[in-house]
Amino acid sequence: MKKLTILSIAVLLVLLTNQFTNAQTQSITVDTTITADCEFDPFTSSNAIHSLKISGNLTLNSDTSLVRIVLYDTLFNEYMVYESYHLIASEPSFNFYDVCDETCYLDSVSPYSLEVQIVNASLTLNTLLFEPDPILSVDSLQLLTKQAVEQQKIAQIQSIIDENEFLWFADTNTISNLNYRNKKSLFGEKYNMRGLDYYSGGIFMTYGSGPGVIDNSSIISEWD
């Protein structure tokens, strides 16, 4: 938790610096409910954007539910805008405001479309918030905000582990540190490892599963 606090303070300081130099944030109203996989283009042009955040609400209907939103640019690079599944969600149904994952800060990306991946869930996408102007220190901001996002996921996973008395530990590792594109190439589209990508030791268990990876196994002690 101390690591998360330090990261959050660092991100806040840089955010405050950029607040005075970039005040041209724009929004797009979507107001659409999505219950199946789809791809659509909500952007009015392919002019470069430098940040993308979303607001809305979602419902996860089961332990294996998944919601993931991915941004494609005009070169068909992929950036995960947001994801939620049972182990990183505080509630099965909730609102979210101005959230982002790999798109909090972008280095001049020309948007092409948004892809929504849905597994037994419902997503209402209300608004998109984007920054059309370049942002100072974008590389540092990308790194800091992604680290903060990952620490938030780990904190939520660990709280569920503790609450359910699962016998494993969550932390960053070489798998969790991969970006969406690399995880997709390893585990396939619409992957949902249900927390295994944050495994760092112990006996892996999750909702609706039996014992999994044991810490003295010859197979794996942690992802490395």
154 within some domain: no
Q: Which of 42-46, 48-52, 125-129, 185-189 has the lowest mean pLDDT?
A: 42-46
Per-residue pLDDT at 213 exceeds 60: no
Q: Is 93 helix (H, G, I), strand (E, B) or coil?
A: strand
Q: Which pLDDT belongs to residue 9?
A: 46
Number of folded domains that form the chain: 1
- Cα separation, 69 vs 92, in Å, equals 17
217 within some domain: no
Containing domain of residue 91, as a range?
A: 24-135
Number of other residues whose CB lies within 10 A of the CB of residue 120: 14
Q: Which pLDDT belongs to residue 1?
A: 45
Q: Report the predicted TM-score, pTM, of the whole model to 2 decimal places.
A: 0.85
- Cα separation, 218 vs 71, in Å, equals 39
- What does the pLDDT look like over 176-195, one tens digit per residue? 999 999 999 999 999 999 99
CATH number of the structural domain spanning residue 87: 2.60.120.260
Torsion of CA 149, 33, 50, 16, to 10 degrees: -50
200 within some domain: no
60 within some domain: yes
Model confidence band, residue 223 (pLDDT cutoffs 50, 70, 90): low
Strand order in the sheet with 121-130: 26-34, 121-130, 52-60, 93-99
Q: Which pLDDT belongs to residue 224?
A: 58
123 within some domain: yes
171 within some domain: no
103 within some domain: yes
115 within some domain: yes
- Cα separation, 117 vs 190, in Å, equals 6
Q: Which pLDDT belongs to residue 207?
A: 75
Which amino acid makes up residue 145? T
Per-residue pLDDT at 84 exceeds 90: yes
Give the closest residue to 145 by CA, choosing from 1, 15, 2: 15
